[in-house]
Amino acid sequence: MAHKGFPEGFYWGAATAANQCEGAWDVDGKSPSIADCLVKGGVNEARRITLDIDEGKYLYPSHQATDFYHHYKEDIRLLADMGLKMFRMSINCTRIFPTGDEDEPNEAGLAFYENVFRELKKYGIEPLVTLCHNDMPLAFTREFNGFKDRRTIDYFVRFAEVVFMRYKEYVRYWLPFNEINCTMRPTGNWHHAGILNPGTTTFRNQVDDPQARFQALHHLFVASARMVKLGRSICPDFHFGSMIAYGTVYPGTCNPEDVLLAQREDKIKNHFCGDVLVFGKYPYYAKQYFDDLGIEIEMTDEDLKDLREGTVDFFTFSYYNSNCLGSTTTGEIVHGNYVDGVKNPYLEYTPWGWGIDPIGLRYTLNNVYDRYQLPIIITENGLGTVDEPIRNEDGSVTVEDDYRINYLSQHIAQMKRAIVEDGVDLIGYTAWSAIDMISLSTGEYKKRYGFIFVDVDDEGNGSMKRYPKKSFGWYKHVIETNGEEL
Ligand code: BG6
């Protein structure tokens, strides 16, 4: 049946990731994760990766982040005030099995997330849980280069089993790995596969070994499928989704060469991983792609069986910007979320160079739904920019973030059109981000996305007090009117 607007029960939500908000990086038994050795960078300064953590010398933003670990009750109460229906968060595995060698999981880590889930339940907020949002024990990289090694599959399956058993009364919606398709690019080596090749010093320019990277991606697929199978056997009520970083790509010109190039980029960078997760097998174009790169993936019959049996039942993706690509295209190169492209003259850009393209979201929703025909949740979308806090006489802070309201309302309007005019089965939206956090790509505090301002500056100094921004009241109204009034 065609909808007139957002369907009833639409999951209006917002998202976070453990290593960007929790802080408390070495508290209650947690071990260092691969996120904890990333130094703060900036728009023109790539984040350094230091295997040895030297806090005297560098600022590692994840160590403190915005201290959700000690503020979760207050933060969740505020999100409940905003009327949130769904909260996307991740569990940091280094709180549960800190090194992977433990016989028993770390009770303090398990108790923390149980408290978070209890708090969400108190307010009737549905959790959507990412099992791995760019975290794994740093020891894995040191010892065997993370997902390059099969042992990492077993670690994550064991971690998932403990988590499923413990939280099955609280959580129904799960995402095995955040933005798994970032491993299609060299930048995915570190964050997504835990691989550090000799010579890599920064997150942006990593030394790449495609053979190792794609073997790691295969292990990520197998781990994902085994987690899905296991989860379903533990609780038939569980739902599992993909999580794809959608780098929407347009041809730079109408030159057929450019059109072909953009189509190929879309297939390889955006669809390849979704195809494996949804259809349970490598796509037909994978063989040629691997042959061209001279890659041979080691895979067992059991791996292939698990891929077939552990497919996802809903589709999620992040969307921030689009990019233009072309063999004959020239112009200023701009960066987006993990992708570079030629500047699009029809778009405006954020101070970080990300092209603002609400219609691109409708295009992407159609593209994804045409291919997979599964219910969709947009698990990340938002505007990262500088907020200027206005300090009031009573010491409180106000942020007039009309630019964020503008960004979000334009994107939500296109979501509505995709539902109403195009028939896309969109069931939820978890905007990035629920509350201010540190940026993943630059590690800055000042690149803010949240509905709630956290009083902390770019050097990590401040009261850490929380203040609703203007967008908070605006989003509350959007939720109350089920997206009718933007
Ligand atoms: C997504 C990540 O790719 O982009 C998030 O899943 C990240 O973790 C978000 O924060 C926005 O990127 P950034 O670099 O501006 O924080």
DSSP 299-315: --HHHHHHHHHS--SBE
pLDDT for the residue 204: 85
The dihedral of CA 95, 155, 244, 379: what is its sign? negative
Q: How confident is the model over 403-407, as a mean pLDDT?
A: 97
Label residue 333 by pLDDT band (50, 70, 90). confident
User: 410: CA distance to ligand 1 center in Å?
Assistant: 20
pLDDT at position 254 over 70: yes
pLDDT for the residue 347: 93
- CA atoms lying within 13 Å on the CB side of residue 432: 24
211 within some domain? yes
User: 337: CA distance to ligand 1 center in Å?
Assistant: 7
Among the atoms of ligand 1, which is closest to the Cα of residue 384?
15
Query: Among candidates 285, 305, 286, 306, which has minimal Cα distance to 297?
Result: 286
User: 182: CA distance to ligand 1 center in Å?
Assistant: 12
Q: What is the average pLDDT score of the chain?
A: 95
Among the atoms of ligand 1, which is closest to the Cα of residue 354?
15
3 within some domain? no
392 within some domain? yes
Residue closest via CA to ligand 1's atom 2 equals 440
- CA atoms lying within 13 Å on the CB side of residue 68: 30
The dihedral of CA 165, 166, 170, 174: what is its sign? negative
Q: For a pLDDT cut of 70, what percent of the chain falls above it? A: 98
Residue closest via CA to ligand 1's atom 8 equals 440
pLDDT for the residue 337: 64
User: 245: CA distance to ligand 1 center in Å?
Assistant: 9
User: 477: CA distance to ligand 1 center in Å?
Assistant: 26
For residues 262 and 3, the model is more confident at 262
The dihedral of CA 160, 137, 382, 349: what is its sign? negative
Residue closest via CA to ligand 1's atom 10 equals 440
Total of domains in the chain: 1
Label residue 273 by pLDDT band (50, 70, 90). very high
Residue closest via CA to ligand 1's atom 4 equals 337
Q: Do 180 and 188 meet the contact criterion of CB atoms below 8 Å apart?
A: no
Q: How confident is the model over 240-255, as a mean pLDDT?
A: 94
pLDDT at position 231 over 90: yes
Among the atoms of ligand 1, which is closest to the Cα of residue 338?
3
User: 198: CA distance to ligand 1 center in Å?
Assistant: 26
Q: For residue 242, say if its preceding peptide bond is cis, omega within 30 degrees of 0.
A: no
Question: How far is Cα of residue 109 from the mean position of the Cα atoms in its chain?
Answer: 21
2 within some domain? no
Strands 466-468 and 322-325: unpaired
CA gap 279, 384 in Å, rounded: 34
- 132: Cβ–Cβ under 8 A, 6 or more apart, which residues? 90, 93, 156, 176, 177, 178
Phi, psi of 150 (to 5 degrees): -60, -25
Residues 165-213 have pLDDT tens digits of 999 999 999 999 999 999 999 999 999 999 999 999 998 889 999 999 9
79 within some domain? yes
User: CA Rg, the chain, in Å?
Assistant: 21
DSSP 114-151: HHHHHHHHHTTPEEEEEEESS--BHHHHHHH-GGGSTH
Residue closest via CA to ligand 1's atom 5 equals 440
Strands 322-325 and 248-251: parallel
Catalytic residue annotation: 179, 380
Q: Do 176 and 227 meet the contact criterion of CB atoms below 8 Å apart?
A: yes
465 within some domain? yes
Mutate to test the pocket of ligand 1, among 441, 447, 449 (most ligand atoms within 8 A of CB): 441
Tokens of 448: 């803010």
Residue closest via CA to ligand 1's atom 12 equals 440
Mutate to test the pocket of ligand 1, among 316, 432, 435, 458 (most ligand atoms within 8 A of CB): 432
Label residue 341 by pLDDT band (50, 70, 90). confident
Residue closest via CA to ligand 1's atom 16 equals 439
Task: Kindly report the CATH number assigned to the domain that includes residue 236.
Answer: 3.20.20.80
pLDDT at position 1 over 60: no
Q: Where are the alpha helices (DSSP H) in 16-67?
A: 18-21
Label residue 326 by pLDDT band (50, 70, 90). confident
Residues 49-102 have pLDDT tens digits of 999 999 999 999 999 999 999 999 999 999 999 999 999 999 999 999 999 989
CA gap 436, 450 in Å, rounded: 4
Tokens of 84: 């949130």
Among the atoms of ligand 1, which is closest to the Cα of residue 134?
8
Tokens of 231: 């989860």
Written as one letter, the residue type at 172 is R
Q: For a pLDDT cut of 90, what percent of the chain falls above it? A: 90
E-state strands within 260-351 = 315-318, 322-325, 333-335, 340-342, 348-349
User: 233: CA distance to ligand 1 center in Å?
Assistant: 32
Give the structural domain span for 226. 11-480
173 within some domain? yes
34 within some domain? yes
| Binding-site residues, ligand 1, Cβ < 6 A | 17, 20, 178-179, 245, 318, 337, 380, 384, 432, 439-441, 447
Strands 452-454 and 466-468: antiparallel
Number of neighbouring beta carbons within 10 Å of residue 375: 17
Written as one letter, the residue type at 331 is G
User: 208: CA distance to ligand 1 center in Å?
Assistant: 21
**3-state class percentages of the chain: helix first, strand second, coil last, to nearest 5:** 40, 15, 45
Tokens 């990300």, residue?
354
Mutate to test the pocket of ligand 1, among 134, 440, 442 (most ligand atoms within 8 A of CB): 440
69 burial level (CB within 10 Å; 0-12, 13-18, 19+): buried
CA gap 190, 210 in Å, rounded: 13
Mutate to test the pocket of ligand 1, among 19, 337, 356 (most ligand atoms within 8 A of CB): 337
